[in-house]
């Protein structure tokens, strides 16, 4: 996120600022695939310091843009990186534009996780764009495009180098897709009905996420560099190659579930445990990495108190599962503690979950890697 003066105060001025129309924005939203990405769980098993993560982000971006490597390196060394101690009251990472004559300040709470490394790359993109922009005003969507391009460069660089954290970085990025391409997209879609809707910075994320992915895959090096610098207009980026944003999906290799055995309920429970374990195995460093006794006891407890749900596709293949717990002081309030959808059906899982918990009171979801760990589930 970038902290600089915002020249928009409602939907109308936000659209005008980016030369957009409600119809153009609706087109992007309608092209989003409903499934989203698999919400895979990062292991957070990394020992990189914040400075190492900053250096890694620099290496990734210079690898992507070798012709501009010197400019990127100069900017990286000039930018001030501020790491806030764990436990301090900080909402989200941010990049502060301090003036054309003073390098930007990047502030981040770093707790040595894959999500934090990705956040460093995000803010690195913001700060480099600001440094090389020479004081030129860049609209918010173009700012976020640069940040997302920096993330994508990190993902590509780590995967190509067979880095041990590559899978966890991808998992963190996939988890973010569920926010940017679903929660934020829903908020933006609702706002489109009223030009006077008060401005929210989160409107920028969905459009930027989609355009960054499309540009990264489809543009040549010179055009992509201009896109990173914010020199390519939003309308031009949206007009070229209007393909749907298709998140990565993995083929579901699991076998269809047999029909429930009405005469042997214990067999049904063991089958359910097996299906949940198979779904977890496809998560990088997932729950199935725990001690088998602890893993079995936890799932068995959820099955006993009917706080578990397995979602199936039409062919009866399991596509995901969720578990939840009731608030100790209010039985009507629920916290969803885990959602596993390794084959890309997270939103279908949420749909089934929402139907199952329709009579519950407040339903919250736990997102351990987010700045807001406890969030409204829908």
Q: What is the pLDDT of residues 117-169, one digit of tens each?
A: 999 999 999 999 988 987 788 899 999 999 999 999 999 999 988 888 999 99
Judged against a pLDDT cut of 80, whether residue 244 lies above it is answered with no
CA angle 201, 202, 203 (to 5 degrees): 90
Judged against a pLDDT cut of 50, whether residue 246 lies above it is answered with no
What is the model's pLDDT at position 370? 41
User: What are the b/e assignments for 253-283, b being 16+ CB within 10 Å?
Assistant: ebeebeeeeeeeeeebeebbbebbbbbbebb
What is the model's pLDDT at position 5? 43
CA torsion 220→246→173→124, rounded to 10°? Answer: 30
What is the model's pLDDT at position 91? 60
Per the DSSP assignment, residues forming a β-bridge with 81 are: 106
Judged against a pLDDT cut of 50, whether residue 285 lies above it is answered with no
Judged against a pLDDT cut of 60, whether residue 228 lies above it is answered with yes
What is the model's pLDDT at position 38? 42
Lateral strand order in the sheet of 363-366:
308-312, 318-327, 330-340, 363-366, 374-376
Length of the chain: 378
Helix (H) / strand (E) element for 365: namely strand 363-366
Lateral strand order in the sheet of 80-84:
2-3, 94-96, 105-109, 80-84
Q: What percent of the chain has pLDDT over 90?
A: 34
**8 Å CB contact between 212 and 149:** yes
Tell me 198's DSSP state.
Answer: B
Per the DSSP assignment, residues forming a β-bridge with 340 are: 321
* Predicted confidence (pLDDT) per residue in 199-208, tens digit: 999 999 999 9
Hey, how many other C-beta atoms are within 10 angstroms of the C-beta on 155? 18
Rounded CA-CA distance 126/122 in Å is 7
Go through the domains of the chain in sequence order and give each one's CATH number: 2-239 (no CATH), 265-376 (3.40.630.30)
What is the model's pLDDT at position 199? 92
Question: Phi and psi dihedrals of 334, rounded to 5?
Answer: -130, 145
């Amino acid at each position: 996120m970038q902290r600089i003066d915002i020249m928009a105060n409602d939907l109308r001025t936000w659209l005008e600022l980016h030369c957009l129309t409600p119809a153009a924005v609706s087109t992007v939203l309608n092209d989003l695939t409903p499934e989203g990405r698999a919400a895979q769980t990062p292991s957070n098993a990394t020992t990189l310091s914040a400075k190492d993560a900053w250096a890694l982000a620099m290496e990734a971006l210079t690898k992507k843009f070798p012709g501009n490597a010197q400019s990127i390196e100069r900017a990286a060394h000039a930018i001030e990186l501020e790491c806030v101690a764990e436990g301090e009251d900080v909402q989200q990472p941010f990049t502060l534009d301090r003036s054309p004559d003073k390098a930007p300040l990047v502030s981040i709470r770093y707790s040595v996780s894959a999500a934090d490394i990705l956040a460093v790359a995000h803010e690195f993109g913001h700060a480099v764009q600001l440094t090389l922009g020479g004081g030129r005003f860049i609209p918010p969507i173009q700012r976020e495009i640069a940040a997302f391009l920096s993330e994508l460069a990190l993902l590509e660089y780590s995967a190509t180098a067979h880095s041990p954290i590559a899978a966890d970085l991808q998992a963190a990025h996939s988890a973010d897709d569920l926010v940017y391409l679903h929660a934020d997209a829903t908020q933006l879609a609702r706002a489109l009905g009223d030009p006077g809707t008060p401005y929210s910075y989160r409107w920028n994320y969905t459009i930027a996420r989609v355009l960054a992915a499309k540009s990264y895959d489809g543009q040549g090096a010179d055009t992509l560099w201009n896109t990173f610098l914010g020199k390519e207009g939003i309308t031009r980026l949206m007009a070229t190659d209007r393909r749907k944003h298709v998140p990565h999906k993995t083929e579901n290799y699991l076998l269809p579930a047999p029909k429930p055995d009405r005469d042997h309920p214990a067999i049904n429970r063991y089958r359910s445990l097996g299906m949940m374990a198979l779904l977890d195995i496809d998560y990088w460093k997932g729950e199935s990495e725990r001690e088998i006794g602890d893993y079995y006891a936890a799932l068995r407890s959820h099955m006993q108190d009917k706080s578990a749900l397995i979602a199936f596709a039409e062919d009866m293949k399991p596509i995901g599962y969720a578990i939840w717990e009731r608030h100790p002081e209010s039985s009507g309030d629920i916290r969803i503690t885990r959602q596993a959808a390794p084959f890309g059906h997270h939103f279908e899982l949420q749909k089934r979950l929402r139907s199952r918990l329709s009579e519950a009171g407040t339903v919250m979801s736990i997102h351990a890697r987010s700045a807001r760990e406890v969030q409204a589930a829908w």
